[in-house]
Amino acid sequence: MSGACVIGVDLGGTKLLAGVVDADLRVHHRTQRLVPHADTAALLDSVCQAVEEARVAARAPIVAVGFGIACLMDDRRGVAATSVHLPIADLPFADVMRERLGLPVQVDNDANAAMLVEWRAGAARGATDAVLLTIGTGIGGGLVVGGRLARGSIGAGPELGHMVIDEHGPPCPGGCPGRGCLEAFVSGEAIGRAGTQAALDRPDSGLGRVLASGRAVTGPLVTELAWDGDPVARAVLETSGRHLGVGITSLVNIFNPSVVVVGGGVIAAGDMLLEPARAVVAQRALWPARDVVEIVPAHFAEEAGMLGAATMALEAAGLRSVASPLPAERRA
């Protein structure tokens, strides 16, 4: 390997993935670990160790590091404003990492990072208007509007998972004060809850037998049984897909995107989730916006966050061209 590389880090609620990435977005080394939640110091130590491990493994100069973090950003103060899953609230994360790593550092919300790389090189390539939903433990959102990554006035958007699809719906999990948000219906955790209820209702089903054996019914397990043909598990995904379609209908009506990219761990369900979503959009979204939108899985799948973080670092370092520049404050 010859050219300079960067390290992209996807810092999620449960796991961290760091990759050594070159200017063509090829990944030369990966390191993965569970994220410690005990306190901020333990978290930062673990992040630094992962970056150093990747740096040692890289057989090329590392010129920058990008982080996509599961948190809400506040550009006014340069901090991670809140995070449901990580002990980093009010931390000037970029400054701390710059100091500790001795390298230029870029930081953004993980879904914004995923949107960036899907837009530059993935499923939303060439789009001037695109939406990304990354569905895992919760739901992250990314937006390209008029050829620019839209992040809101202070960088705290776009939290598309907190779009309300049922005013009287269940309380939103985590730190959101809302009710009936898309995330309360369609996340991996929500699918696990719906799967558990379906298992209780139908003890004769594959899901029911799994629950009876003492195993927890999780989102990935529902998907696995659905792929195996269990009709009850498939029905759970069908219902989740229809909820997803209701949310996407609003996004299609508001933003008129040419593509809606769905990523995150839940997309392992593939068309079992996307087909019901497409059907709802076809029924309910406004014409003609509904006729131009494609609803597709993320090209970079579970690596979109890591590769998006790497893309931020590559663009800031001048190693990849910036077709539509990020706001200046994100490139400092």
* Least distance from Zn ion to the Cβ atom of residue 323, Å: 33
Q: Find the binder of Zn ion among 89, 145, 156, 176 (CB under 5 A).
A: 176
Find the binder of Zn ion among 36, 87, 169, 178 (CB under 5 A): 178
Q: Which residue number, 25 or 184, has a Cβ lying nearer to Zn ion?
A: 184
Exposure on the CB side of residue 265, measured as CA atoms within 13 A:
20
When the beta carbons of 172 and 319 are compared against Zn ion, the nearer one is 172
- Min dist. Cβ of residue 185 to Zn ion (A): 11
Site for Zn ion contains 160 (CB under 5 A):
no
Which residue lies nearer to Zn ion by CB, 102 or 177? 177
Q: Quick check: 172 binds Zn ion (CB under 5 A)?
A: yes
Q: Considering the complex, what minimum distance in angstroms separates the CB of residue 141 from Zn ion?
A: 11
With vertex at residue 155, the alpha carbon angle to CA 149 and CA 156, rounded to the nearest 5 degrees, is 115
162 binds Zn ion (CB under 5 A): yes
Judge residue 128's burial from the number of C-beta atoms within 10 Å of its C-beta, 0-12 exposed, 13-18 middle, 19 or more buried.
middle
Contact 169, 185 (CB under 8 A): yes
**CB-based burial of residue 179 (10 Å sphere; 0-12 exposed, 13-18 middle, 19+ buried)?**
middle
User: Among 168, 200, 196, which Cα is nearest to 184's?
Assistant: 168
Positions 179 through 218 that interact with Zn ion (CB under 5 A): 181
Rounded distance, CA 263 to CA 308, Å?
A: 13
Total residues interacting with Zn ion, rule: CB under 5 A: 5
User: At its nearest, how many Å lie between Zn ion and the CB of residue 276?
Assistant: 22
Contact mark string toward Zn ion, 120..159, x via CB under 5 A: ----------------------------------------
**Smallest separation, CB 77 to Zn ion (Å):** 23
CB 65 within 8 A of CB 109: no
Q: Where along the sequence are the contacts to Zn ion (CB under 5 A)? A: 162, 172, 176, 178, 181
